[in-house]
Chains A and B, each alone.
Chain A
Amino acid sequence: MYNEKKTIDKLKVFLTFGLIPVFVFSVVVLLPILTGIGMTFTTWTGFSGSLLEFVGIENYKEAFVDTRFWGSLGTTLRYVFYTLIFTNTIAFGLALLVTSGMKGQNFFRMGFFTPNLIGGIILGFIWQFIFSRVMIYFGDFLNIDILSSSWLAGPDTSFWALVIVSVWQNSGYMMLIYIAGLMGINKSLLEAADLDGASTWRQMWNIKVPLMIPSFTISLFLTLQRSFLVFDVNLSLTNGGPFRSTELIAMHIYNEAFLYQNYGSGQAKAFILFIIVAIIAVTQVGIMKKLEVES
């Protein structure tokens, strides 16, 4: 470890290695966070015509009585719940499939991962076409009622469209994490179980799953975070419609601020979102850490 004795030398080290990062981080990240906290308690918004006046928890009150905010939060929770379950189940299944030692498994891995490379905006548009044109054609052709009108026209079907696209987008990524977990399992454990006559099913539940808790932690954490903050796919697939029914929380905050110019309460909502995400993430990681076993 290094420690310069003279203050001038210390300063020199800081100027070389620390000054620019500290400066950039402070003005780009810290300053907006602190200003944001200030914004929620005052009338100041930084946009035209507003003065600095302390209003206490007025902005939070406004956020709390906004039924649209609660509606959006409710939809988001529902969306997070389903994406979390489907993404991880499918991802785990895919991981088992492409580590089974069959021909071409590397190719399949790449294939399932591909949607992750492409931005959410583009993916949302691709599926917009699928839902609004291809599926209708299919439904008409085969006379399936549920497919005969665009899924993006009804609130309920739009919601499921959003879930499907998100699961499709994220499962390949989570699959990679589960593959890493599966590869990390000590082969001799499985061989011993094989000799003892344990079925594939028992090996899976009694050996693979418990040893893969760290992978589940990471993957659940990432899915949780991604789906709580999803914006791009929401924008390009449904644009919150019909009638703001699929406006998830990140988009709700965006629209409140930049579309309806409710800066103060919008910022208060943004902080509520931050606190929810932080609490869930910390709790989840805490619980999963307790479940981890030594192999």
Chain B
Amino acid sequence: MKKRKKFKTMSLFIVSTLVFLLYFFPFVLIVLNSFKDRTAIISNPLSMPEQFSFENYIEAFQTMNFMSALWNSVLVTVVSVALIITFSSMFAYFLVRWKWKINKYLFLILIASMIVPFQALMIPFVSIYGKLGLLNSPWMLMFFYLGFGLGLATFMYHGFIKNIPVELEEAAVIDGATRFQVFRKVVLPMLKPITVTIVILDVLWIWNDFLLPSLVLVSESTRTIPLSTFYFFGQYTSSFGPAMAGLILATIPVIIFFILLQKQVIRGVIDGAIK
């Protein structure tokens, strides 16, 4: 019996390893080829690089304007997520604690809008904001992310705040705190777990988003990582080495983020999907 169990776990382990290799071979191949020159890639894309030269990386780093793209991505992601967190938590608090009739409708409209795919409003979106001359600014992009991220975040905060007993706020109210102070000092600290979930979900969404920034950010200097990868790869279709190096460069930041915060990311993704 024990021997059979051992055999079973062993074979499961082997199966997992094989599947894992299957999942990872694309990444491995890209890494290998990122160190090779063009002829080596074409003659045998499966071979090990003869020497580890960083030439491709240097070229990709410069042509992609990697530092500028990285900075733009960080700026857009951090500010957008901060805006979403701030305003969604306040809005959800308002919708939960004040039972005005209009709040019920506001909440309903917010939820209903969540099933509208971006494609359904993309054309009028571009026409309105293009006409107003408000495209091509990273600050407007953050404003748009606040708009598009508000629905899900408010919905999640709403579910969480609903379960916080209002009695917890009474002491502060009696002490004469204003509504905002009660929120800031009493409620906000309690929102930490749900905030982590929302931050993870929104960081992954905004960091990797391509369509919205491709419509909003026109000039080269404002490009985020997905955008600069896209244009870079487009120019380099036949020069494989730098193209591979570019893909690896574009992947590194998010992998670091994941390694540092694996537990929170996994938790956040599960919680986000279930709610």
A residues touching B (Cβ–Cβ < 8 Å)?
A: 1-3, 10, 13-14, 16-18, 20-22, 24-25, 27-33, 35-36, 39, 45-47, 94, 97-98, 100-105, 108-122, 125-127, 129-130, 133-134, 137-138, 168, 172-173, 176-177, 179-180, 218-219, 222, 228-229, 231-232, 235-236, 250, 253-254, 257-258, 263, 266-267, 270-271, 273-274, 277-278, 281
Binds A, one of B39-47, B55-63, B64-72, B191-199: B39-47
Chain A facing B: main interface SS: helix
Interface presence of B52 (CB below 8 A) = no
Interface presence of B176 (CB below 8 A) = no
CB of A188, distance to nearest CB on chain B (Å): 21
Whether B98 contacts A13 by the Cβ 8 Å rule is: yes
B273 contacts across to A, CB distance below 8 A: 173, 176-177, 218-219, 222
B41 contacts across to A, CB distance below 8 A: 133
Given A32-B125, A36-B121, A267-B124 in contact, is the A137-B97 Cβ separation under 8 Å? no
| Distance, CA A32 to CA B118, complexed state (A) | 10
B121 contacts across to A, CB distance below 8 A: 29, 32-33, 36, 270
Whether B90 contacts A133 by the Cβ 8 Å rule is: no
| Distance, CA A104 to CA B269, complexed state (A) | 21
CB of B49, distance to nearest CB on chain A (Å): 15
CB of B185, distance to nearest CB on chain A (Å): 14
B residues touching A (Cβ–Cβ < 8 Å)?
A: 9, 12-13, 15-16, 19-20, 23-24, 26-27, 29-30, 33, 41-42, 44-46, 87-88, 90-91, 93-94, 97-100, 106, 109-110, 113, 115-128, 130-131, 143-144, 146-148, 150-151, 154, 166, 179-180, 183, 204, 207-211, 225-226, 229-230, 233, 240, 243-244, 247, 250-251, 254-255, 257-258, 262, 265-266, 269-270, 273-274
Given contacts A1-B97, A35-B124, 4 further A-B contacts (CB under 8 A): A110-B262, A119-B226, A129-B243, A228-B117
Whether A125 contacts B115 by the Cβ 8 Å rule is: no
Whether B124 contacts A32 by the Cβ 8 Å rule is: yes
Whether A29 contacts B254 by the Cβ 8 Å rule is: no
CB of A42, distance to nearest CB on chain B (Å): 12
Closest residue of A by beta carbon distance from B14: A102
| Distance, CA A27 to CA B91, complexed state (A) | 16
Residue pairs across A and B with CB atoms within 8 Å: the count is 259
Chain B facing A: main interface SS: helix
A101 contacts across to B, CB distance below 8 A: 9
List the 10 closest A-B pairs by CB distance, nearest first.
A28-B147, A46-B127, A119-B208, A17-B94, A32-B121, A21-B91, A35-B124, A274-B120, A32-B125, A36-B124
Whether B166 contacts A45 by the Cβ 8 Å rule is: no
Given A101-B9, A176-B270 in contact, is the A134-B229 Cβ separation under 8 Å? no
Whether B87 contacts A20 by the Cβ 8 Å rule is: yes
Given A103-B13, A112-B23, A130-B29 in contact, is the A271-B120 Cβ separation under 8 Å? yes
Kindly identify which residue among A3, A33, A47, A105 contacts B127, using a CB–CB cutoff of 8 Å: A47
Closest residue of A by beta carbon distance from B246: A125
A16 contacts across to B, CB distance below 8 A: 90, 179-180
Given A97-B19, A176-B266, A270-B119 in contact, is the A117-B258 Cβ separation under 8 Å? yes
8 cross-chain CB contacts under 8 A: A3-B100, A21-B154, A36-B121, A100-B12, A119-B210, A129-B240, A179-B270, A254-B122
